[in-house]
Amino acid sequence: MSLYEDIQEVRHLLELCGDISIKPDIKPKKIMNAIKSYVPGGNIESGQVLLLIDNTMFGSGKQGMMLTEEMLFAFSNISGKYSIRVKDLESVSPQLRKSLGVVPQIGLVLNGSYFVSLPGMVEDSDKIRNYIEW
């Protein structure tokens, strides 16, 4: 089964979060902004993006996370830029952590160590509370 097919199987859960867009329902401008902002060299095509999480206040897509069949790319002011090959992902755990030791921040812990901050998901925290390690 492809990663895209896996995403489609859990689409109903992912769509509980308003900041998540899934192919083919991702706005082209948002994809292009994300690619320019946090894909090294901007070397992917917009059609490769399977899932985009937009963490920006006004929906520009310049911070967040995107997933292709082969790569995961992420960027936020809190976590910085990050990319990893999908085949190198051993674990993905949704968690709540304290940013700067104070502010609770929802995000994903990749491979048990790197925290991808997803601040845009905070407003949807009541919907996803059952799926996150608090």
pLDDT computed for residue 34 by the predictor: 97
pLDDT computed for residue 33 by the predictor: 97
In angstroms, the CA 75 to CA 72 distance is 10
pLDDT in tens, 25-40: 999 999 999 999 999 9
Task: Let me know: does 56 contact 64? Beta carbons within 8 Å.
Answer: yes
Q: In what order do the strands lie in the sheet with 92-99?
A: 92-99, 103-110, 114-117
State the residue range of the domain holding 122.
Answer: 3-131
pLDDT in tens, 76-90: 887 789 999 999 999
With a cut of 50, say whether residue 134 has pLDDT above it: no
**pTM attached to this predicted model:** 0.82
DSSP annotation of 104 reads: E
pLDDT computed for residue 92 by the predictor: 83
User: How many structural domains does the chain have?
Assistant: 1
pLDDT tier for residue 52 given thresholds of 50, 70 and 90: very high
Q: Phi/psi at 40 (nearest 5 deg)? A: -55, 120
pLDDT computed for residue 99 by the predictor: 65
